[in-house]
């Protein structure tokens, strides 16, 4: 039997490594690293893509046919139905909701984009007339993108390709070896090259990441207090005169306001609130400012607090003060690729989104970025305020495990009159659906991947096997629904390769040609030679003080009072003396793919990392079952001792549920799911960010709780 090889991109994390699928007799027998094309393939140590993808493609538990609930909601009884019946039921419900309660009573609930699915879901919502598109933007990506936009005038601020000239790197709240690169696209290969060239490295993380052992300085701040740490370093850089004076004078606005503000607090205040010794704050600030250009690569950990936006702003301002923006070896701005802009596709001509009708009307940046924070959906369903949400279409998303306050999410989704969920496997969320639709993966259909959008790369994912049973690509589901709802003229006849040509038109190539080219890279610019257009801010400069933010009612500077808010909403007490932070295990993608036997063998159970002294005090030993209790509830995970942790911090694993548990328990989502312990309130008032880390808790042995 001949083996056909096909290049594609891993869909398990934001790195999107270039991989090769080995296809034999219509089956993917192996997935290997792409060593030939020259496209970056920075595979993680767990080799999540190569290990998991073959098993996922051909897993016997893949959803293969549309299903309709039999019996009570969440009861685990299903009946196979045709696509015609499934789509007909959704259309009938949506039309009756629209007539009776208005289109805004329908929610479009989207997960992490893989191909063009996200853009199709947004467009369907727009033509349908509902502004209520719910995405995880409120705790992933939006704060970084918005802070970059306000500070630099572009969300596409990335590490330069030139690895020779960088003087210092900071890896902050991210584990780039395992899960994506940093938000500014600093990939492990490039980090390694820079280290070989003598570049300094600072790691800022309460947990043990791979690069910590290579760091010149490893700082372990109190979870959720990163913004204050950045502000402390800014104070040192300014007061010791270490900033790039020429850059600051010529290319920034608001420096004097910042200088005045940092004089209002002491480094001892920062030390007390962040747990980082004063000397370490000074050492880090000096290293960053003296070894330029410096690239501070942040990760998702900085976004899981109610000070997320201001934290990102503080970090970017710190980076900018060193004169590292727009120079070789520092941060550059990438320009939009020649590709039909997904954001434009969301809004067909003549269909403005009815923002004023959105349940997220209060969140000025969420509205601007076309999403509703997840907890806003939950709260609206539970309270029927400002109006009732009656029905939802969910696309490859698992809110029961990924939204804050899992119990409230469960109550809300149980209350929802109608839920249609498109998924790869059954999940806790499909278990309480009315209709389940089988979704196809990239490789089972041709698509184009453009996410994360801020890297500006556009990637070709050709089809190389058939989907299982009757599974459809999500974009086809949206497309067919649009046609049945009477909006066919704004969509496509089919979501085939001809449709993909439309997306590539601005680049002048067809999808057929794209299969050989495989990737489109964006252009990039340095400040020199682009002085008139580098900073696309209102002032044409890097905005330390943002008048734009002020006009929107958002603090124009990352003040101390803003950055200390995470502590004010979650202070430890006698009942809850420890603090947990939020750990994404390296073997999985968020809450997904726990059905895969290969990776499950390596990571069979959720692990909570605990300092040995803290464990001893609680009578806990390595491998014991441990209850983790917070004000919101209690879960159980297995103890893994880690002497590198601060004694006051524990690190439970995120996203756990158990595909092997009975469906009538919704696959055991209550047992170990970290979001049982988080809360949907309070929220950061522009993006809807909530506190997902730095939450007080206690631990004790769980002898009575088998996993
Ligand atoms: S999960 Fe691993 S293999 Fe897949 S893109 Fe991420 S780093 Fe690469």
CA nearest neighbour of 291 among 299, 301, 303, 283: 283
Tokens 């209550």 map to which residue?
A: 670
Residue 139: pLDDT band with limits 50, 70, 90? confident
Which of 248-257, 543-552, 695-704 has the lowest average pLDDT? 695-704
* Distance from Cα 374 to the centre of ligand 1, integer Å: 26
* Fold equal for 160-334+527-561 and 570-701: no
Cβ pair 690, 136 in contact under 8 A: no
Instruction: Map tokens 């950045």 to a residue.
Output: 230
- Give nearest CA residue, ligand 1 atom 6: 13
In angstroms, the CA 261 to CA 246 distance is 21
Q: By alpha-carbon position, which residue is closest to atom 5 of ligand 1?
A: 16
Six token digits for residue 135: 């995405």
Report the nearest-CA residue for atom 4 of ligand 1: 49
pLDDT at 707: 55
Domain boundaries defined on the chain: 4-57, 67-129+340-438+458-520, 160-334+527-561, 570-701
Identify the CATH class of 67-129+340-438+458-520.
alpha beta
DSSP per residue, 108-127: EEE-S-SSSHHHHHHHHHHH
Q: In this predicted model, what pLDDT tens digit does every residue of 193-228 receive, in sequence order?
A: 999 999 999 999 999 989 999 999 999 999 999 999
Pocket test for ligand 1, best of 30, 43, 47, 177 (most atoms within 8 A of CB): 43
DSSP states of 198-240: T-EEEEE-SS--GGGGG-SEEE-PPTT-HHHHHHHHHHHHHHT
How much of the chain, in percent, has pLDDT values that exceed 90?
85
The answer to whether residue 452 scores a pLDDT higher than 90 is: no
| Per-residue model confidence as pLDDT tens digits over 599-634 | 899 999 999 999 999 999 999 999 999 999 999 999
The four Cα atoms 114, 53, 398, 441 give a dihedral, to 10 degrees, of 50
List, edge to edge, every strand of the sheet that includes 633-641.
Answer: 607-610, 633-641, 625-630, 695-701, 578-580, 649-650
Alpha carbon of 45 to ligand 1 centroid (Å): 9
| Residue-level pLDDT at 626 | 97
What is the gyration radius of the CA atoms in the chain, in angstroms? 25
Using a 6 Å CB cutoff, which residues line ligand 1?
Answer: 10, 12-13, 15-17, 43-44, 48-49
Per-residue pLDDT at 428 exceeds 70 = yes
In the chain, what percentage of residues exceed pLDDT 70? Answer: 99
CA angle 73, 426, 382 (to 5 degrees): 40
CATH class of the 4-57 domain in this structure: mainly beta
Extract the runs of DSSP E, i.e. beta strands, from 444-558.
447-449, 458-461, 519-520, 524-525, 542-543
Reply yes or no on whether the pLDDT at 331 is more than 60.
yes
Measured in Å, residue 18 CA sits from the centre of ligand 1 at 9
- Residues 284 and 305: their CA atoms lie apart, in Å, by 23
Q: In whole angstroms, give the CA distance from residue 152 to residue 154.
A: 6
- CATH number assigned to the domain with residue range 160-334+527-561, chosen from the 4 options 3.40.228.10, 3.40.1280.10, 1.20.200.10, 3.40.50.1370: 3.40.228.10
DSSP 445: S
Q: Give the pLDDT of residue 706.
A: 61
Q: Render pLDDT for 376-419 as a digit per residue (tens, 0 to 9).
A: 999 999 999 999 999 999 999 999 999 999 999 999 999 999 99
Architecture in CATH of 570-701 = Beta Barrel (2.40)
CB distance 86 to 92 below 8 Å? no
Choose one of 7, 16, 17, 190 to mutate for the ligand 1 pocket test, by most ligand atoms within 8 angstroms of C-beta.
17
pLDDT at residue 352 in the model: 81
- CA–centroid distance, 619 to ligand 1, in Å, is 38
Residue 158 pLDDT more than 80?
yes
Nearest CA among 5, 50, 9 for reference residue 24: 5
Does residue 118 come out as left (phi exceeding 0), alpha (psi in the -120 to 50 range) or beta? alpha
Query: In this model, does residue 137 exceed pLDDT 90?
Result: no
Burial pattern 72-93, b for ≥16 Cβ within 10 A else e, equals eebebebeebebeebbebbbeb
Which value does ipTM take for this structure? 1.00
CA 177, distance to chain mean position in Å, is 16
> What are the phi and psi torsion angles at 86 (to 5°)?
-65, -50
Query: Which of 26-40, 245-259, 360-374 shows the lowest per-residue confidence on average (mean pLDDT)?
Result: 360-374
Ligand 1 mutation target, pool 7, 8, 9, 10, most atoms within 8 A of CB: 10
| 368 alpha carbon – ligand 1 mean position (Å) | 31
């Amino acid at each position: 039997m001949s083996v056909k090889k096909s290049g594609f991109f891993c869909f398990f994390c934001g790195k999107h490594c270039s991989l090769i699928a080995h296809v034999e007799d219509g089956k993917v027998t192996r997935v290997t690293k792409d060593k030939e094309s020259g496209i970056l393939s920075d595979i993680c140590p767990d080799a999540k893509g190569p290990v998991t993808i073959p098993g996922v493609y051909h897993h016997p538990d893949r959803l293969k046919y549309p299903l309709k609930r039999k019996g009570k909601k969440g009861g685990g009884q299903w009946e196979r139905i045709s696509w015609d019946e499934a789509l007909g039921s959704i259309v009938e419900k949506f039309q009756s909701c629209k007539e009776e309660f208005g289109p805004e009573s329908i929610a479009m609930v989207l997960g992490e984009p893989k191909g063009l699915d996200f853009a199709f879901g947004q467009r369907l919502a727009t033509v349908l007339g509902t502004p209520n598109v719910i995405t995880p933007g409120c705790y992933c990506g939006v704060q970084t993108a918005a802070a970059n936009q306000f500070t630099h005038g572009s969300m596409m601020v990335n590490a330069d390709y030139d690895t020779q000239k960088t003087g210092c790197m900071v890896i902050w709240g991210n584990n780039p070896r395992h899960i994506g690169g940093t938000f500014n696209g600093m990939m492990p290969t490039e980090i390694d090259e820079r280290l070989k060239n003598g570049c300094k490295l600072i790691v800022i993380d309460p947990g043990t990441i791979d690069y910590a052992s290579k760091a010149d300085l490893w700082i372990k701040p109190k979870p959720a207090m990163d913004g204050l740490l950045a502000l402390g370093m800014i104070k040192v850089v300014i007061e010791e005169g270490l900033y790039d004076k020429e850059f600051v004078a010529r290319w920034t606005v608001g420096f004097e306001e910042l200088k005045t503000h940092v004089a209002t607090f002491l480094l001892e205040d920062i030390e007390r609130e962040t747990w980082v010794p004063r000397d370490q704050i000074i050492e880090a600030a000096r290293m960053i400012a003296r070894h330029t250009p410096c690239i501070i690569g942040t990760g998702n950990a900085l976004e899981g607090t109610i000070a997320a936006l201001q934290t990102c702003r503080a970090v970017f301002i710190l980076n900018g003060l060193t004169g590292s923006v727009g120079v070789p070896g520092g941060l550059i701005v990438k320009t939009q690729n020649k590709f039909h802009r997904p954001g434009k596709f969301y809004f067909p001509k003549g269909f403005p989104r009815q923002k004023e009708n959105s349940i997220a009307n209060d969140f000025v940046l969420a509205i601007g970025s076309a999403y509703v924070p997840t907890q806003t959906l939950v709260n609206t369903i539970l309270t029927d305020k400002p109006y009732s949400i009656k029905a939802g279409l969910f696309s490859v998303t698992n809110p029961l495990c990924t939204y804050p306050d899992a119990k409230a999410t469960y109550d809300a989704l149980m209350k929802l009159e109608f839920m249609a969920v498109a998924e790869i496997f059954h999940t806790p969320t499909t278990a309480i659906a009315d209709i389940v639709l089988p979704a196809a993966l990239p490789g089972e259909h041709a698509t184009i991947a453009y996410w994360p959008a801020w890297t500006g790369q556009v990637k070709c994912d050709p089809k190389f096997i058939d989907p299982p049973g009757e599974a459809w690509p999500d974009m086809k589901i949206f497309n067919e629904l649009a046609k049945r709802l009477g909006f066919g003229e704004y969509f496509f006849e089919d979501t085939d390769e001809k449709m993909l040509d439309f997306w590539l038109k601005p680049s002048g190539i067809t999808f057929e040609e794209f299969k050989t080219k495989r990737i489109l890279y964006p252009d990039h610019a340095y400040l020199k030679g682009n002085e008139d257009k580098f900073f696309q801010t209102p002032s044409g400069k890097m905005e330390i003080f943002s008048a734009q933010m002020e006009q929107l009612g958002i603090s124009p500077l990352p003040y101390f009072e803003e950055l200390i808010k995470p502590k004010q909403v979650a202070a430890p007490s006698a009942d809850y003396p420890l603090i947990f932070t939020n750990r994404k295990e390296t073997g999985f993608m968020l809450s997904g793919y726990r059905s895969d036997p290969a990776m499950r063998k390596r990571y069979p159970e959720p692990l909570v990392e605990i300092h040995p002294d803290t464990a001893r005090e609680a009578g806990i030993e390595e491998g014991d079952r441990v209850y983790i209790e917070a004000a919101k509830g209690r879960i159980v995970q297995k103890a893994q001792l880690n002497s590198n942790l601060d004694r006051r911090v524990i690190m439970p694993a995120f996203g756990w549920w158990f595909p092997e548990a009975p469906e009538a328990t919704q696959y055991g989502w209550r047992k170990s799911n970290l979001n049982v312990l988080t809360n949907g309130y309070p929220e950061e008032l522009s993006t809807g960010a909530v506190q997902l880390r730095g939450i007080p808790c206690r631990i004790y042995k769980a002898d009575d709780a088998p996993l």
